[in-house]
């Protein structure tokens, strides 16, 4: 599917109704557009089934609560709506985007308690997020921005505003011929990529940053569970940037990224080793089981 995401065939679930794709619009004074009062979920359907669907819907509600608004649809209603979107668009393998936001209403300042909350769900076909990086390893830049302290913003919400530095960092990375960028956190420790968590391998053991100031991804949690089932030691800990020199393998995890090998981060190089390939292949089998 090519062209603008605003100009496509299909249906989008919008506040309980199926709307023609091109008609799923909002007013220019929508609060979320001005003040980022928006939360979302990215999900993948495999063979008609959304992987960890309910966990995504529950997290959407959690994120809204972190931004001080309540979604006017239950988790069960969201679950049904997602299935309806897949069915009406004839999709079985697809990316599903649920988004909730404060709309235009009586308030047009920072405060927006009187404005209605909306929910929309769209789905479309979307291939590998990093293209052929799944085979040769993605190349990452190191962002000039840092993930903020938990004292400054609701870092565990999947909120639109938290992705502002992700966009600018990914643009800068792509301008350098990289696929993505790695963030350090406010302490200068290794954090995550712009839309994915990160794992490293050394001496047969796995190391991954402790998610104390960024999203503990559902794919991240799934992969940790897979590693533990294999009795592979997993260390969730603070990682200094200089430690990357000693790591042998690296991969990214995320709903869009799935499990993607990393070949280079800045001046640090990694092999696409056996464990990385195993996790990528095993994750693919799991989501399609």
Which residues are tagged catalytic? 158
Q: Using CA atoms in the order 76, 78, 81, 86, what is the torsion angle rounded to 10 degrees?
A: -110
CB 173 within 8 A of CB 140: yes
Cα atoms found within 13 Å of the Cα of residue 224, Cβ hemisphere only: 18
- Cα separations in angstroms, 5 against 2, 8, 112: 8, 6, 28
Helix (H) or strand (E) holding 64: helix 53-66
Cα–Cα distance measured from residue 12 to residue 28, given in angstroms and rounded to the nearest whole number = 19
Sign of the alpha-carbon torsion through 18, 22, 27, 32: positive
Give strand pairing partners of 138.
Answer: 262
């Amino acid at each position: 599917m090519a062209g603008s995401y605003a100009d496509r065939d299909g249906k989008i679930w919008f506040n309980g109704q199926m709307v023609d794709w091109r008609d799923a619009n909002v007013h220019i004074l929508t609060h979320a557009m001005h003040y980022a009062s928006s939360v979302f979920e990215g999900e993948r359907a495999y063979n008609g089934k959304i992987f960890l669907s309910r966990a995504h819907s529950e997290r959407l509600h959690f994120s809204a609560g972190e931004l001080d608004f309540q979604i006017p649809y239950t988790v069960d209603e969201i679950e049904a709506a997602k299935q309806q979107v897949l069915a009406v668009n004839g999709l079985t393998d697809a990316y599903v985007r649920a988004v909730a936001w404060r709309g235009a209403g009586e308030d047009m300042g920072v405060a927006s308690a009187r404005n209605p909350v909306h929910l929309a769900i769209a789905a479309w076909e979307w291939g590998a997020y990093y293209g052929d990086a799944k085979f040769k390893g993605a190349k990452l830049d190191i962002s000039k921005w840092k993930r903020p302290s938990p004292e400054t913003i609701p870092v565990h919400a999947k909120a639109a505003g938290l992705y502002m530095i992700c966009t600018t960092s990914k643009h800068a990375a792509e301008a350098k011929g990289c696929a993505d960028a790695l963030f350090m956190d406010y302490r200068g420790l290794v954090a995550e990529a712009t839309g994915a968590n990160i794992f490293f391998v050394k001496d047969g053991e796995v190391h991954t940053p402790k998610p104390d100031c960024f999203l503990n991804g559902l794919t991240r949690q799934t992969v940790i569970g897979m590693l533990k089932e294999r009795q592979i030691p997993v260390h969730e800990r603070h990682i200094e940037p200089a430690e990357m020199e000693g790591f042998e393998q690296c991969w990214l995890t995320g709903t869009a990224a799935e499990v993607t090998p990393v070949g280079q981060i800045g001046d640090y190089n990694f092999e696409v080793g056996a464990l990385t390939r195993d996790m990528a292949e095993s994750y693919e089998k799991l989501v399609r089981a």
